[in-house]
Amino acid sequence: MSNPLGRYVKSVESKDTVLCLGLDPDPSQHPDTREKLVFCLDIIEKVSSHVAAVKINENFVRDLSLEDHRKITSLAESRGLLSIYDCKIGDIENSNRAGFQLVRKLGYDFATFNPILGNVVEAARDAEQAGVGVLALLHPSNPASRRYYRALVDGRKLYELILEDVCSSDVEGVVLGLHPDITVEEIARVRDALGGDRIILFPGVGVQGGKPDTAVKHGGKRILVNVGRTIINSPNPVQTAMQLKQILKTL
């Protein structure tokens, strides 16, 4: 099995896109667990030619079994897609280790991680031992997060302190939300600090109002642009994903 960054490169190159499918089945629309699983598998099957990765937020799929997750991740793998479990692991060391081991058992390539407890270096080590890549939450996309992540601590924004720790670790990338306040200069500085090899996953495009050109033009080459509800709630998900793929290629 190739390393997580290798799997990223393979998926992006083979699909010729940095589009990531945010597959979050709304329980109000999919209250039945079995129907929810069928929906996820159907969407992956339909749009797999137009996306490089699929990201699933744990809060939408807590009712799925280990076997259900394995069906999702196995299908993603068979279609050449990178799979990301957006579970925001973030706890003391042994809890993080258990979380990464479970993510690997579920079949995902990457897990998101919340480094706010300050143990990102240890988490990166434990994830590597479990065979899972790490995308550390650097800055959320929701406007309310400005109260914390953009607060000044010793003259720097909190997310900038987190970035410093991330850069001292072996994590494979970060989650950098297209927050209303974040500037293109900040995005460029994040990329410069991370170097060219790490991945930046950009959530917030589409319904949340983030602009994909901001990510593509200033995020560097190793990026993923996550789009969720715009695709999965579309009357024609295939056409929408295809259009987004083309838009990203022209930026």
Per-residue pLDDT tens digits for 199-227: 999 998 877 788 899 999 999 999 999 99
Contact at 8 Å (CB) between 205 and 227?
A: yes
Side-chain-side CA neighbours of 154 within 13 Å: the count stands at 5
Residues 13, 11: Cα–Cα separation, whole Å: 6
pLDDT for residue 209: 80
Picking from 79, 89, 23, the residue whose alpha carbon sits closest to that of residue 50 is 79
Query: 82's torsion region: left (phi>0), alpha (psi -120 to 50) or beta?
Result: beta
pLDDT for residue 2: 64
Using the CB atoms, write b or e for 232-247: b if 16+ within 10 Å: beeeebeebbbebbee
Looking at the DSSP assignment, which residues form a beta bridge with residue 135?
112, 173
pLDDT for residue 174: 98
Q: Mean pLDDT in the chain?
A: 96
SS3 63: coil
Q: What is the pTM of this model?
A: 0.97
Residues 191, 200: Cα–Cα separation, whole Å: 8
Contact at 8 Å (CB) between 1 and 131?
A: yes
Residue 103 has pLDDT above 50, yes or no: yes
Percent of the chain with pLDDT over 90: 95
Yes or no: domain 4-250 corresponds to CATH 3.40.50.2300: no
State pLDDT tens for residues 43-60: 999 999 999 999 999 999
Mean of pLDDT values over 27-39: 97
pLDDT for residue 1: 46
pLDDT for residue 251: 86
Residues 125, 127: Cα–Cα separation, whole Å: 5
What share of residues in the chain are helix, strand, coil (percent, to 5)? 50, 20, 30
Angle between helices 66-78 and 33-47 (to 10 degrees): 10
Residues 159, 150: Cα–Cα separation, whole Å: 7
Mean of pLDDT values over 188-194: 98
The band of 153, judged by pLDDT with boundaries at 50, 70 and 90, is very high
